Structure 1
């Protein structure tokens, strides 16, 4: 029987696993529009720069990191201070097991406690699994941006999802 999935704040020792999850998506998917792997240094900088309303959480089973959830400022201007952009990325082996829903539940609780009012997520289309995750997590689609990314030799639309806390 597998160990239960737990969620906690990321620490430096988690960052190679977080980078592996992210970089897999960079190279093979469209859940991020980065074109080159970012490696651990990028995640060290993100972890060091976390401020109020910013989180980096990992889901783990035993000692294996299954994925992560992150929140970051939506835009730099002060009036956006209570809005965060959020994302969840999973190791392919963890997909379809409820790990993303568990990560979002923890992240949204933290953001609510931080006084965040609105969270936004961007979903590259098509992505039925991500759309279902966001719907299950209480997000609503609020618009599609056509052909805003070019990756893997094709144009990609994104859909903006919003949840008010």
Structure 2
């Protein structure tokens, strides 16, 4: 990664671009367990949160959108309020350039400032690049659910990684 990666608050006008990035993974990979592209209202609901503590950041480089990172509720019960679920989606051309690690550092700093104690991420077990990124950034596998998804005629596993921050 040669140029600096920047993070900024999500703006409504970013949503179609971020949705296109997400839908690429829906259509072409097992990274997402959606089997059909999401529509604008559904995607908007997934990146704009009523509680301001949960947030989506747009990842940019040279003023170009590279993807997004977000922290959202892990579960809806109050005892989980110190846990956050994080996700990162990058434009396919941006994978493998260190942007995922930068996004993790950014979201962890934000989460610490907002009272989170632990961050978790659920990843399709096929998604080896994402698993490597989380592992090299101090996340450890804490769960493995076998054959819980079904896409493209086959069953898929998920793994959950966590980090106490």
TM-score, normalising length from structure 1?
Answer: 0.92
Query: Residues 91-112 of structure 1, C-alpha deviation per residue, up to 9 Å, x if partnerless?
Result: 1100000111111111110001
Q: Tell me if the contact between 1:20 and 1:39 (Cα under 8 Å) persists in the aligned partners.
A: no
SS of match in other structure, 2:160: strand
Distance 1:126 1:67 in 2: 20
Partner in structure 2 of residue 135 of structure 1: 135
Q: Tell me if the contact between 1:58 and 1:103 (Cα under 8 Å) persists in the aligned partners.
A: no
Partner in structure 2 of residue 68 of structure 1: 68
Partner in structure 2 of residue 25 of structure 1: 25
Deviation at 1:134, TM superposition (A): 0.3
Distance 1:126 1:46 in 2: 23
Query: Residues 31-76 of structure 1, C-alpha deviation per residue, up to 9 Å, x if partnerless?
Result: 2211221233233334442424311011112232111111111111
Distance 1:75 1:58 in 2: 23
Deviation at 1:163, TM superposition (A): 0.6
Distance 1:145 1:44 in 2: 28
Structure 2 residues not aligned, in runs of 5+: none
Deviation at 1:3, TM superposition (A): 5.0
Partner in structure 2 of residue 13 of structure 1: 13
Structure 1, 42-51 or 111-120: larger mean CA deviation: 42-51
SS of match in other structure, 2:56: strand
Matches of residues 113-128 of structure 1 in structure 2 within 5 Å?
Answer: 113-128=113-128
Give RMSD over aligned pairs: 1.6
Count of aligned pairs: 164
Compared CA separation, residues 69 and 156, structure 1 to 2 (3 A): same
Compared CA separation, residues 77 and 37, structure 1 to 2 (3 A): same
Partner in structure 2 of residue 93 of structure 1: 93
Structure 1 residues not aligned, in runs of 5+: none
TM-score, normalising length from structure 2?
Answer: 0.92
SS of match in other structure, 1:21: helix
